[in-house]
Structure 1
C-alpha cells in the first residue's frame, strides 16, 4: 500500500473531488497541489483541516477517535505481516502522534475544533467508552509528558460534572454511571493526575468567595466534582421509587403478603450487590486521590469536613431535608471513611497509637465543635482547656480519618437513622387520612355530591402517590440496614472505636495493651456523690471530658437502631466484647458522661442483648456478661448506680423517662440474676456492705412500682368503665357520662395506651421485687421503706381482690400486659418472701388504710381454689403470716391506746406516730423521727417544711427530746403493770 493510500485510508480523506467514497471527506491539497500526492509531511495539514476547516465534519472528537482506531488497526496488521513496509510504520506513528496531540488540544481549547463542544465530547466518550478508552489513555499520557495535565483534567471533569447534573446521574442509569466511574478510575490511575486532582475548579469549595452554586448543604452533591458519584446509592429517592413503586403494590401490607415480601427481598438483594460494587469502585477512586499527594489528601479531608460541618441539622428534629445533603450522599461518605479506617482498627491494634488522643486540642482542627455539647464539661471550660493546650502540628491522616468517620457516623449515617424513624410515622398518618377520605366518599356518594367526591378523589390520588414514594424510600432503607456484610463493616469500625475510646478514658492511655482499672474514682460508701454533678465533673478524666458528645452518641444511635433488625451485626460477633466493655465503663464511671439520655440508650442496647432468643436460649450478650472480666466485675454496680441516678434526666419528661430506663435495666438485672451466679453473689454483697446505697435503690424500685401499679390499674378501670358506657349507649340507653361519643373514644384510646405502658413496666418491676425479696429480704425492711412497702402491697391487694376488682375486667387483658391472677400470685409471693421479717409483719399491721384480713382470705380462695396456682403449703404459709399480723395488730392497738395522751411534741410531724429517734432539721429547726426524714430524703433532697436543700449528715440528734419520750414510755409501762397487779 502506498503512503498516499495509507493516509487516505486512515484519515478517511481523498484528493478526488469528483468521486468521494462513502464516509470519506474531500481534502483540497492546498499545501502540495502538485501531482506528487500525499506524503508524511501532509498529515498535520490534513488533520488540522479536518478539525478546524471542514464544515462537513460534524463530530471532531469522533473523527479523531475513529482515525486513531484505524491507525492502531493498521499498525497491528503490519506488525503481523511477513513483509512489513518500511514506509508505513513512520507514517502511522506520525498519524498517531498528531491525533493524540490534537485530541489533547481539543480538551484544552474548546473552540479549537470548528464544532468543538466539551459537553458533546463527554457525552460521545461516555456513550462509547470502550471505543474511546485507548485514545483517552494516550491523551492522558501525552498531557503528562507535556506537563499540561491540569488544563486537561480541569476542563474534562468540570464538563463531566455538568453532564452528570444534566442527566441526574443515579443507579437507574447503569450505562452512564459505569462509564463515569471508569473515567475517574482511568485518570486517577496515573499518579501525576491524582497528585494534582484536588486543584481543579469545583473540587474544594472556596468558602471565602461566597460560591453562588453552593447556597445550601444539598448543593455539594450537585456542584462539586465528586458529588454526583458519591451519591450513587440505593438510598437515592429516584432509585428507590423506580425499583419499588413499579414492582410492589403498596396498597397491601408487605409483611402479610408472602409473594410481595419475596419480591422486596429480591429487589433489595440486587441493589445490595450493585451498591457493594459501587462502594468498592468509589473506594478505589478516593484511595488514589488520598495517595496522590499530601495536597490532594489534605484537600479531600478538608472537603469531607466542610460537608459534614454544614450538615449538622441532619440530626435536627425539624430540619428541612431538601436543603441538606441526601442520605445517599452522606451515607456513602460514611461507609467510605469506615473502609479507610479499617487498617488501623483491626483486631491487632498495631496502629491504634497513631490516633491522637489529644486530637481536639489541635489548632488546625477541621471538625466544627462550636455548638457541640461535651462529654462532661461546659462550653467555656472546654474552650479554656483547648486554648491552653492547643498544638499547631498538622494532625496525621489516621487521626483525621478516624475522628471524621465518627463525625459522619453521627451526622451522616445518624441522619439516615432519623429518616427511617420519621418515615414510619408519616406513612401511618397518610394511610389513616386516605382511609378517612375513602370513607367520606362512601358517605357522600349517597347524597350525590359529585363535586365534593371529585375533589376528594384527587386528594386521595395525590396522597397515594406520596405514600408510594415514602414506602419505596422506607423499603430502600430497610434494604440498606439489612445488608449484613455492609453492617458488619460499620460495626467493626464501632468495635475498634470503642477500644480507642477506652484508651482515651484510661488515665495511662495504655489500653488495650494493659488493662484499665475501674472505677476511675473510688466508690462512695452510701450515695452522697453518686449523682453529685459538680463532684463528678471535677473528677472526670482529661481529655475525654472535653470530647464532643456526638463521638459516643453516634455509636449508640447506630447500635440502638440496628438491634431492631433480625440477624443484626452484633449477633454472634467476636468483636462485640469491645463495644460492651465501653458501654460498661460509661455506666460504671458516672463522671464520664453527664447526659443521662446517652446512658438510657446504653441500657436499652444491653437489654436487647440480654433478652432470651426465640428458641429460649440466652441472649446473645449473656456470654460476654459472664466471661468478660471488665464486664462481669462492673456491670451490676453500674446498672444499680444508674437505676438510682436516672431519677433526674433534666428534660421536661424526666418523670416518665426514668420508667423506660428502669424497664431496660430490670430486663438485664433479671437475666443476670437468674442465669449467672456471680451476679447474685455481687448483689448480696452490695446489699450487705453498702446498705445506705442499696436502700436508696430499693426505694426507687418501690416508688416506681407504687406509681406504675396505681397508674396501670386506674387506667384499666377507666378502660372498663368507658367500654361499658359505649356498650350501653349502643343499646340505646341514656348516657351516664358527660363526654360525647368522639370524646369517649379519645379517652378510651388514651387510657388504653397508658394502661398498656404502665402495666408492662410494672410487670418487670414486680419480677425484681420477687427475686430480691426472696434472697435478700432484710434489705426491704429498713425503717425508711418498710411501711411504704407494706402499704403499697396492701393497697394493690385490695385492688385485685377487693369489692371493686370487677372494674379491672377488660377485653383481651393480655394486650395490656395485664394478668390479674399472675399479678396477685406475685404480690402474695412478695408477702411470703418477707413473712419472716418482724419489721415487715409490724408494718403490715400498722397499715390502717388498706390492710384487711378478709383480703388475704379472698386471695387464698382465688389462688388455691379457683386457679390452682397456689399449693396447700403455699396457702398455709400465707395463713400463718396473716395470723402473725393479726396478733401484732392487736398489740399495736393496745400500744396506741396506752400512748393516746402523748404530748404533740412527741409525735412525728409527718407520720403522727411517737418518735423513736428524733432529730433536728438544720434550717426549719423542726424535730422529726430519723426514719421519717431518711425515707423522705430517698426521693427528695430538701427539708419537707421549707424546701431548703438538705442532706442526712446535716441533721442533729435531739437527745433531750428522745430522753423525754423514753421517760414517757417507761412511765406508761409502769402504770400498765401496776394496773395488772
Structure 2
C-alpha cells in the first residue's frame, strides 16, 4: 500500500469516528428520554408497591368505579407494560451494534496509522540511500574530470613539445601554416572539401595540386582570394566584407606569430580599387539618381483684416507663388558601389572607428571619396520636419569632423557655400549643409508635424516633461555642432570659412530690419534660433568667468560694426550716429574671434527674436481662449505653438548661457562708457555696480558710438521676455546689479541718441515693480519684490533718473509716440508708487525737489499734463459711448452701414476713454502722494505749472459734479445702487476705470493740500471756464452726507479752502477787469495773456517767458517757425518789461482806489441801515 492510500484510509476512519461521536451524543439524548419514559412506566406498572413522590392527595370520591371502567383500566395498564418492554429491547440491541462498529473502526484506524508510519520510514530510508548514491556518483565524476584535465594538459604539453621540435626542424613550414589559417579564417575560405562552414575554392585548389604545391594559402594568393570573394558573394556588401576580413586578420590569435602586413596591404589596396575602379575587378556598376527638394518658404499667419492692406496682399501673393514653385531640387547620381562604400564608411562609422585603415584606403582616392561622403550626407538631410533628421545631422557632423582633410574638403564644397552669385537668405538655408542642419525645428509655424502629445488631461508637469525631453534632443545636437565648430576654429582657413557662412546668413537677411521684409527670399526663424544656441555655447568660455572680464573687454573691437568689412549693418542705426567718425581699416586687418563671436551673437539675437515676444504672447492668449471653450481641436495648435517655442527659448541650458552672455554685455557697455580708460586698472566686477558712478557723461569713448542700437534692445527685450513669461527662471539667472547698471546708463547718457531705445530700456526697469491696479506681486514674482527697494545702486540713482525720463519720453521716435509716451509714463507711475512706500525714496524725492528744482518742475509739468489730457480726452469720449448705448436700444432702426460706423466709432472711443482715464487717475494718485509732503508742493506752484494744474482740477470737478455737457454728464439720483452718487450715465463705468466718487475724493485731497497757498486760491477762482462755487458746495455736501469718505483733517482743510475761494473771487474778478484793456503790444499774441516777463525769439516774435517755458518742455522748437530752440537763445526785453510793469502798477492803483471807494460806500450803506433800524 502506498503512502497516499494509507493517508486516505486514515482520514476515512477519522471521519467515521466523528460520525460515531455525533451519533452517540444523539443516543445519550434519546437515552435520557427513554430513562424518563422507563421510570414513568415502571412506576405505573408497580402501582402502589413503590412509593411515589409525596403529593397532596386529592379528595377521594365516595363512589366506586364500575366494572367496565376497571376493565378498561386493566387493559390500558397491560398495553403500557407491553410497549415499554418492546422499546427497551430494541434500543439496547441498537446500542450494542453501534459500540461493536465503533470498536472495529478504532482497530482499523490504529492499523492504518501503523502502516502509514511504516511507509514513511521506508521512504526515508530510500531517500537517504539515494542521496548517498548521488554523492558517490558526484565524487566519481569530479575524479574523472580531474583525470581528463590532467590528461589534456599532458597532451597539450606533448603537442607543444612536438611543435617546438617541428619549429626547430622547419620554421618556414610553421609560418605557412599560420598564414594559411589566418587567410582561411579571415575570408572564410578553404582549399579542401573536408572543411565545414567555409567556401571551397576549387579552381585554386586544382591549380596548386597540378603544380605540386601544398594546399595552403600564402600571401601571393590574396589577389585570387579577394577576387573570388568579391565576385562570388554578390549579395554581400563588398566593402563591409573586405573590412571584416581586415579586422579579423588583425585580431587573429596567430597574427603576432607571423608577418601579415602584406595581407593587410592587399586588402587596403583592393578596398580602394573596388571604389575607384570596380571594372578592373570585373564588377558591374549600375547608376541610381537621388534627389532632395528644398522646402518652399513658409507662409506667415494671415491676419483677419489683411484684405484692407494692399502691401500685405502683395506680399502674400508673392509668397504663394514661391510656395507653388516648391523650391529648388538637388539631384545627384550614384553607383551601387558608391552606395555600398558610403554605407560602410559613414553609416557603419568606419571613418571614425578605424582611422588608420581609412588613411591607407583613401591615400589614392581621397578627393573622390570625400566628395562622395559630402554629397551623400547632404542628401540625408531630406525631411527637415522629422526629428530623426536631427540625429542624421549629428552623425554627419561626427563623421566629417573625424578627419582634418575631410573638414577642409567640406568647407570648400559647393554644399557649404554655393558658388552662384545670385544667393538669397532662403537659398543659403536650403542649399547648404549648415542651413539645412540649423533649419530643424519643432516650431509649428515652420514644422506642421505634431511633435507634442496633447490630451484634455494634460497637466503643467506633463507639458514641462515633454518640453524638457525635446530640449535635451536639441541640445545633444547643439553640443555636437559646437564641438565641430571648435574644430573648424582651430585652423585659420577653416575658421574664416565657417564664420563666413554665418556672416552671409546675417548679410543676406538684413531685410528683417525693415518694416515690410520680403519673406520669400529670407531664411526662416529656426535657422537664427538654432544659430543663437550654437554661438551662446561658443561664447561661454569668455563670458562665464567674471575675473577675466577685463581681459576679454580689451579684446572686443567696436570698429567691427563700423567698418562693415564683415557684417553689412548699414541699415541699422548706431548708438550715436552723429558722433561717428569715418573709420578706415586695412584690407588685411583681421578681427579676433572674441570680437566676431560677440557681435555675431548680438546680431543673430536681434533677427531671431524679432516679434518673438509678441508671437509667444498671442499663442498664450489663443491657448487660454481655447481652454475657455474646451475645444481640443482649437487647443492643440496653440499648445503645439507654446511647447515648440519653449523648447527653443526656455531650455535650462539655453537660459543659463543666454543670461551669462547678457551679463557680460551689460558690463561691457559700462566698460566702454567710462570717461577715462586706464589699461592697467583691474576692475573687481563683483562690486562694479557700487564703485562706478553714474553721471552725465559727455566725454564717453567714441567706440561706444559704433555699437548698433539693437545691442541695447537685445538686453532689455530678452530680459523683459523672461521677466514676463518665466519670472522664476529670470530671478534665478539674474545678475540684478549688472542689468540695472546697464539700464540706468542707457537711460541717463546722452550718447544713446534714440529716445525709443532709452524708453524701451526704461520699460524693462519698470518690470521690477508690481503692476496696477493691485500693485502687488504675483506668487511666482515674490523673489523680485525687494530688488528695487534694497539695491544700493537704485537707491542712489533710480528716482532722479526715472523722474527725468518721465519728460524725456515725450518723444520716443516712434510713429505712434503720442499714445506710446503715455504707456511709458503709466509704467513709471507704477514704479514711483511702489518705491514711495520706502521712506528713503520719499526723503530722496524731497532732496531732488530742493536741490534740482528745474528737473522736478519739468517732472511735475508732465505729470499735470497727463492729468489734464487724460481726463479731457476720456470724459469727452464718454458722450459718444452714451450715444452708442442709446442706439443699441433701438438697433433695428439703423442700416447696416450705420451700424458698422457706430461699432467702429465705439471701439475707438472705448480705447481712448480707457487709457485716458487710467492714465489720468494714475497721475492724479501720484500727485497726491507727492503733494502730501509740503516740501514738494512748490513744484506745482511754479509759474509754469500752476495754471495748468488748477485748470485740470477745476475742469474735472466741474465735469463730474455740475456736468460739463448736459447731454452726457449729469448728477444722477437714480442708479442701480441704493445711494446717490456722482456718475456718468453709461453702462459698466468701472470698465473704463471711471469711479466718480473716488475721483472726487482724490480731487478734494489735492485742493486740501494746496489750499494754504494764496497763489493757488487766486488761480482757482480766476479760472472762468471751470470754476463754479456750487461745485465745491456740492462736494462739501457729499462729504457731510458721508457719500465720500474723507479724513476729518482733510475735510476741514477743504472747507477752509472753499471759504477762502469765496472771499478771493470778487477781488480777483475786479482785478482782471482793470487789466482787460491792456494794449496789444503788452499781450502775448500766441498765448493771449498779459506779459510780465517778455522775451524776443530768434524769429523776431515776442512771447511771455513763463508760457514759452511751458511750450519748450513739450516741444523744444520755436512756436512760430518750428526751428530748434533753447531757452538760452531768447533775448530779454527790459524796456518793454518796464512799460508793462508801469501799466500794471497804474491799473492796480486804480483797482485799489476803486476797491476802497466801494468799501466806503458799503460802510455808509450799512450805517444808514443801522440808523433806520
TM-score exceeds 0.5: yes
Distance of aligned partners of 1:20 and 1:26 in 2 relative to their CA distance in 1, 3 Å threshold: farther
Q: Shift in Å at residue 860 of structure 1?
A: 4.1
Quick one: which of 202, 206, 230 aligns to 2:414?
Answer: 202
Give, in whole Å, the separation in 2 of the partners of 1:657 and 1:486. 32
State the match for 2:843 in structure 1.
Answer: 681
Q: Shift in Å at residue 587 of structure 1?
A: 0.6
Q: Is 1:172 equivalent to 2:392 in the alignment?
A: no
Distance of aligned partners of 1:709 and 1:134 in 2 relative to their CA distance in 1, 3 Å threshold: same
In the TM superposition, 1:520-531 aligns within 5 A as 520-521=696-697
Distance of aligned partners of 1:816 and 1:161 in 2 relative to their CA distance in 1, 3 Å threshold: farther
State the Cα deviation string for residues 115-134 of structure 1 (Å, max 9, x = none).
Answer: 48868789778988999345
State the match for 1:727 in structure 2.
Answer: 889
State the match for 2:155 in structure 1.
Answer: none
Quick one: which of 472, 480, 486 aligns to 1:273?
Answer: 472
Q: Does the residue aligned with 1:713 lie in a helix, a strand or coil?
A: helix
State the match for 1:441 in structure 2.
Answer: none
Distance of aligned partners of 1:170 and 1:372 in 2 relative to their CA distance in 1, 3 Å threshold: same
Q: Shift in Å at residue 604 of structure 1?
A: 1.5
Q: Does the residue aligned with 2:726 lie in a helix, a strand or coil?
A: coil
User: What TM-score does the superposition give when structure 2 sets the normalisation length?
Assistant: 0.68
State the Cα deviation string for residues 624-646 of structure 1 (Å, max 9, x = none).
Answer: 54555554433333223322222
Q: Is 1:808 equivalent to 2:808 in the alignment?
A: no
Q: Shift in Å at residue 974 of structure 1?
A: 4.1
Give, in whole Å, the separation in 2 of the partners of 1:376 and 1:791. 40
CA contact (8 A) 1:272 1:480 kept: yes
Q: Shift in Å at residue 294 of structure 1?
A: 2.4
Give, in whole Å, the separation in 2 of the partners of 1:545 and 1:480. 32
In the TM superposition, 1:939-950 aligns within 5 A as 939-944=1114-1119, 950=1125
In the TM superposition, 1:687-698 aligns within 5 A as 687-698=849-860
State the Cα deviation string for residues 596-634 of structure 1 (Å, max 9, x = none).
Answer: 221221121111112266358987666454555554433
CA contact (8 A) 1:834 1:840 kept: yes
In the TM superposition, 1:460-471 aligns within 5 A as none
CA contact (8 A) 2:346 2:373 kept: no
Give, in whole Å, the separation in 2 of the partners of 1:417 and 1:153. 47
State the match for 1:294 in structure 2.
Answer: 492
Q: Shift in Å at residue 783 of structure 1?
A: 1.7
Q: Is 1:778 equivalent to 2:938 in the alignment?
A: yes
State the match for 2:1141 in structure 1.
Answer: 962
State the match for 2:724 in structure 1.
Answer: 564
Q: Shift in Å at residue 233 of structure 1?
A: 4.0
State the match for 1:60 in structure 2.
Answer: 238
Distance of aligned partners of 1:679 and 1:144 in 2 relative to their CA distance in 1, 3 Å threshold: farther
Q: Does the residue aligned with 1:242 lie in a helix, a strand or coil?
A: coil
Distance of aligned partners of 1:564 and 1:354 in 2 relative to their CA distance in 1, 3 Å threshold: same
Q: Is 1:644 equivalent to 2:807 in the alignment?
A: yes
Decide which structure has the larger Cα Rg and report it. 2
In the TM superposition, 1:213-252 aligns within 5 A as 215-235=423-443, 241-244=449-452, 247-248=453-454
Quick one: which of 885, 901, 908 aligns to 1:743?
Answer: 901
Give, in whole Å, the separation in 2 of the partners of 1:810 and 1:149. 87
Give, in whole Å, the separation in 1 of the partners of 2:1143 and 2:882. 54
CA contact (8 A) 2:666 2:742 kept: yes
CA contact (8 A) 2:411 2:498 kept: no
Q: Does the residue aligned with 1:634 lie in a helix, a strand or coil?
A: helix
Q: Is 1:666 equivalent to 2:829 in the alignment?
A: yes
Q: Is 1:403 equivalent to 2:616 in the alignment?
A: no
State the match for 1:254 in structure 2.
Answer: none
In the TM superposition, 1:352-371 aligns within 5 A as 352-360=552-560, 365-371=565-571
CA contact (8 A) 1:362 1:391 kept: no
Alignment RMSD (CA, Å): 4.2
Quick one: which of 1099, 1106, 1110 aligns to 1:931?
Answer: 1106
CA contact (8 A) 1:720 1:810 kept: yes
User: What TM-score does the superposition give when structure 1 sets the normalisation length?
Assistant: 0.81
State the Cα deviation string for residues 857-909 of structure 1 (Å, max 9, x = none).
Answer: 33344456455532343322221111111211122123234556555555554
Give, in whole Å, the separation in 2 of the partners of 1:781 and 1:171. 69
Q: Shift in Å at residue 333 of structure 1?
A: 1.5
Quick one: which of 596, 608, 613 aligns to 2:767?
Answer: 608
Give, in whole Å, the separation in 1 of the partners of 2:350 and 2:896. 85
CA contact (8 A) 1:577 1:624 kept: no
Distance of aligned partners of 1:607 and 1:119 in 2 relative to their CA distance in 1, 3 Å threshold: farther
Q: Shift in Å at residue 584 of structure 1?
A: 0.6
More deviation, 501-510/410-419: 410-419
State the Cα deviation string for residues 485-516 of structure 1 (Å, max 9, x = none).
Answer: 42232111111111112111223345844754
Q: Shift in Å at residue 767 of structure 1?
A: 2.6
In the TM superposition, 1:60-99 aligns within 5 A as 60-68=238-246, 70-71=248-249, 75=252, 78=253, 90-91=259-260, 95-99=263-267
Give, in whole Å, the separation in 2 of the partners of 1:348 and 1:147. 48
CA contact (8 A) 1:708 1:758 kept: yes
State the match for 1:373 in structure 2.
Answer: 573
In the TM superposition, 1:227-626 aligns within 5 A as 227-235=435-443, 241-244=449-452, 247-248=453-454, 259=458, 264-291=463-490, 293-345=491-543, 346-350=545-549, 351-360=551-560, 365-378=565-578, 382=580, 384-387=581-584, 392-414=588-610, 420=616, 472-509=640-677, 512-513=683-684, 515-521=691-697, 541-567=701-727, 569-589=729-749, 591-611=750-770, 614=777, 623-626=786-789
More deviation, 411-420/262-271: 411-420
Q: Shift in Å at residue 179 of structure 1?
A: 5.4
In the TM superposition, 1:120-159 aligns within 5 A as 132-133=348-349, 136-139=352-355, 142-143=358-359, 151=367, 154-159=370-375
Give, in whole Å, the separation in 1 of the partners of 2:997 and 2:275. 84
CA contact (8 A) 2:769 2:831 kept: yes
Give, in whole Å, the separation in 2 of the partners of 1:330 and 1:394. 25
Q: Shift in Å at residue 285 of structure 1?
A: 2.2
State the Cα deviation string for residues 251-284 of structure 1 (Å, max 9, x = none).
Answer: xxxxxx6636565433222212222222222222
Q: Shift in Å at residue 852 of structure 1?
A: 1.8
State the match for 2:920 in structure 1.
Answer: 762
Q: Does the residue aligned with 2:380 lie in a helix, a strand or coil?
A: helix
Q: Shift in Å at residue 483 of structure 1?
A: 2.4
Quick one: which of 195, 218, 236 aligns to 1:40?
Answer: 218
State the match for 2:120 in structure 1.
Answer: none
Quick one: which of 678, 695, 701 aligns to 2:863?
Answer: 701
Q: Shift in Å at residue 8 of structure 1?
A: 4.3
CA contact (8 A) 1:666 1:768 kept: yes
More deviation, 785-794/655-664: 655-664
Give, in whole Å, the separation in 2 of the partners of 1:862 and 1:571. 48
Quick one: which of 799, 806, 817 aligns to 1:654?
Answer: 817
State the Cα deviation string for residues 284-341 of structure 1 (Å, max 9, x = none).
Answer: 22223323x2222222222222222222233444334453223332212211211221
State the Cα deviation string for residues 707-728 of structure 1 (Å, max 9, x = none).
Answer: 1222223334433331232024
Gaps of 5+ in 1: 79-83, 250-256, 436-459, 523-538
Gaps of 5+ in 2: 1-176, 288-333, 964-968, 973-982, 1161-1173
Give, in whole Å, the separation in 2 of the partners of 1:918 and 1:131. 89
Q: Shift in Å at residue 429 of structure 1?
A: 15
CA contact (8 A) 2:272 2:362 kept: no
